[in-house]
Structure 1
Amino acid sequence: KLMFKYVEVGRFDKTDEELTSLSDKWMYVLKNLSRLDNRPAALREKIFSKLFAAASVARFTPTELREYEDSLKAYRDIKNSLDTAKEEGREEGREQRNIEIAKKMLAAGMDIDIIINMTDLSKDEIEKLTIQQ
């Protein structure tokens, strides 16, 4: 079931002081966005934040837009690198902790099969630890 609502934005004539409902605010924005230099007080709601951010990017010159996109790409690259490094660090820390636990379990005389099950280390890794002790 599909329903259409047609709106004639050109006939909307309320000022920003007269906006009461959310639909009034959206109509006002659709009609006046190209003329707005400052964000009116009636449109300070969070729902309009992304709209005004996108509108400010849409006004960039080609040079500004290219610089903005390069800046976003650099930010995303750095963020992805940091996220990957954090995850690799966590994994390395888990492995090191499992080795420490396996060493303590070996020192306590526990069975290798139990150590494998508890630490997720391979039999070869645990045997190397027994040689080192």
Structure 2
Amino acid sequence: YKKKTTDAQDTQALSAEASVKWRKLGDKEKAALVKRAEADKARYERECQEMGVEPHRRGKTKKVAKLENLALSGFQEFCRVELGLKGALAKSAWNLLKPEERRRWYRINYADARHLCYMLQAALAEMMRDL
């Protein structure tokens, strides 16, 4: 089907197009397709029994026991940094600026704001090194 309709490249568009065609089908055509699907399902279950494999059933996923005791990845550790901590670091970086530099930033334009961001990032990096 996908080879015939090259305009439907992504699965969402393909699914939408298939649902439109399914709604247009008559009852006889739908019954024939449902019958084929049931036969295919029975074949799948029969082959799973022959191989001694449990057929895959959709359902609730089981929770991993003691999930909270597993080690966190680097990304998860990064995400755990709270916003309050970031705000406190930004506040202390702002406090490191001299009053003359602060006064300059009260009337901010784009270039000055970018410069302030670089200065605050440098101050934050310096503080993080001290921790």
TM-score scaled by length of structure 1: 0.31
Query: Which has the larger share of helix?
Result: 1
TM-score scaled by length of structure 2: 0.32
